[in-house]
């Protein structure tokens, strides 16, 4: 048995007509076992007055979808499209089985997917007022509400332990196409640190438009966020960025076994350089210039005892 419908709702105050095809089917496999599926497109003209990023909400309210949204939307593949109206849209998919346990009891097993194609949400990334003074700033940084789509950030979920690459290179700045250096996978040498959506600044914390300097909370582009593998402690995860600096330095200037390496400065970066050399199994001679006795002792221990398995 199949059912289908074509819904054309009209919404005021502006006339918005949206075509919404829907279909459902049910197949009797046996007398007491049935397969069912449904799919359809749905829309609504209401938006929540709170954000789904809030941990706790003591008030739930709803408003008509606002009209002062950004003009363009950037898809996950980098393409842009115009936002034609404020309607929220989603594609719904459902499939499952019905089993008659008895004449009075029926068991339903269903899987459900709701794919948001356009969602209006409170804009927690707003940094500027929507005024002529900030006409050069992108809409997603100055509108009270923002349109979202798809499955959102798919690199991590709420509660994951992550580390953030602080570089404000082409992708976080919304620059497309990216510069040749970023395209080659070297965002640390980006050509556009003074351009794009934000004020000049190499990384989060030293750019006036982006938080992160000793802040309790910060906003990061999804390209900057990397989940920490299971089993890695938060303390160890804090060394991700300095160790990345160390390992990249060593890989760019990989010493041979017979070489003599001089590391000037035995702070965190210097320590990570020594750790990277020994972690790669390179047995060269390492000399570290470090005036602090404690740091020198730590580096000496690493140089003598660290190996590829450490």
CA neighbor of 218 nearest in space, from 276, 174, 162: 162
Whether residues 131 and 158 share a domain: the answer is: no
Domain shared by 57 and 136, yes or no:
yes
User: Are residues 198 and 169 part of one domain?
Assistant: yes
Half-sphere exposure in the Cβ direction for 265 (13 Å, CA): 7
CATH number for 306: 3.40.50.720
Q: Are residues 169 and 57 both part of a single domain?
A: no
Q: Which of 148, 179, 212 is the last residue of a domain?
A: 148
User: Is 212:189 a contact under the CB 8 Å cutoff?
Assistant: no
Which two tokens mark 2? 């199949």
Q: Are residues 158 and 138 in the same domain?
A: no
Please list the pLDDT of the chain residue by residue as tens digits (310 residues): 777 777 776 655 555 677 788 889 999 999 899 999 999 988 777 666 665 555 455 666 666 666 666 677 666 566 677 777 777 788 889 999 999 998 889 999 898 888 877 777 666 667 777 778 877 777 667 766 665 554 556 666 666 788 888 899 999 998 989 999 999 888 889 999 999 888 899 988 888 888 776 776 677 888 888 888 888 888 888 888 889 889 989 999 999 999 999 989 888 898 899 889 998 999 999 888 888 888 778 767 765 655 434 3
Q: At which of 232, 264, 284 does a domain end?
A: 232
- Split into its structural domains, the chain has a count of 3
Range of the domain at 251: 239-310
Give dist(CA 206, CA 193) in Å, integer: 12
Q: Are residues 163 and 141 in the same domain?
A: no
Domain shared by 86 and 206, yes or no: no
Are 183 and 112 in a shared domain? no
Among 232, 258, 273, where does a domain finish? 232
Does residue 73 share a domain with residue 132? yes
Residues 171 and 294 in one domain: no
Q: Do 194 and 203 contact (CB within 8 A), yes or no?
A: no
Give pLDDT, residue 181: 92
Q: What integer pLDDT is reported at residue 49 of this predicted model?
A: 62
Q: Tell me: do 50 and 172 sit in the same domain.
A: no
What per-residue confidence (pLDDT) applies to 19?
79
Domain check: are 25 and 141 in the same one?
Answer: yes
pTM over 0.75: no
């Amino acid at each position: 048995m199949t059912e289908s419908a074509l819904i054309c709702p009209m919404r005021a105050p502006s006339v918005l007509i949206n075509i919404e095809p829907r279909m459902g089917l049910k197949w009797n496999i046996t007398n007491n076992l049935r397969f069912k599926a449904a799919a359809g497109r749905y829309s609504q003209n209401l938006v929540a007055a709170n954000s789904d990023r809030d941990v706790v909400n003591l008030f739930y309210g709803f408003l008509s979808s606002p009209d002062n949204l950004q003009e363009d939307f950037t898809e996950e593949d980098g393409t842009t499209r115009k936002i034609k109206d404020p309607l929220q849209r989603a594609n719904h998919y459902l499939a499952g089985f019905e089993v008659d346990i008895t004449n009075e009891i029926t068991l339903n097993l269903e899987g459900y997917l709701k794919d948001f194609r356009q969602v209006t949400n409170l804009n927690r990334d707003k940094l500027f007022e929507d005024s002529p003074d900030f006409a050069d700033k992108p809409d997603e940084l100055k509108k009270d509400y923002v349109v979202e789509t798809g499955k959102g950030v798919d690199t991590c979920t709420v509660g994951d332990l992550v580390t953030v690459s602080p570089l404000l290179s082409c992708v976080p700045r919304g620059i497309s196409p990216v510069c040749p250096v970023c395209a080659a996978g070297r965002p640390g040498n980006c050509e556009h640190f003074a351009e794009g959506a934000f004020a000049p600044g190499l990384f989060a914390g030293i750019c006036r438009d982006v938080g992160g300097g000793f802040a309790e909370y910060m906003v990061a582009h999804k390209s900057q966020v990397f989940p920490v593998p299971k089993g890695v402690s938060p303390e160890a995860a804090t060394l991700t960025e300095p160790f990345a600096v160390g390992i990249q330095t060593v890989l760019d200037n990989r010493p041979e076994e017979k070489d003599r390496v001089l590391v000037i400065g035995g702070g965190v970066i210097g320590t990570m350089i020594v750790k990277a050399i020994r972690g790669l199994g390179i047995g060269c001679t390492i000399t570290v210039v470090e005036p602090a006795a404690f740091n020198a002792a730590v580096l000496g221990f690493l140089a003598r005892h660290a190996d590829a398995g450490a």
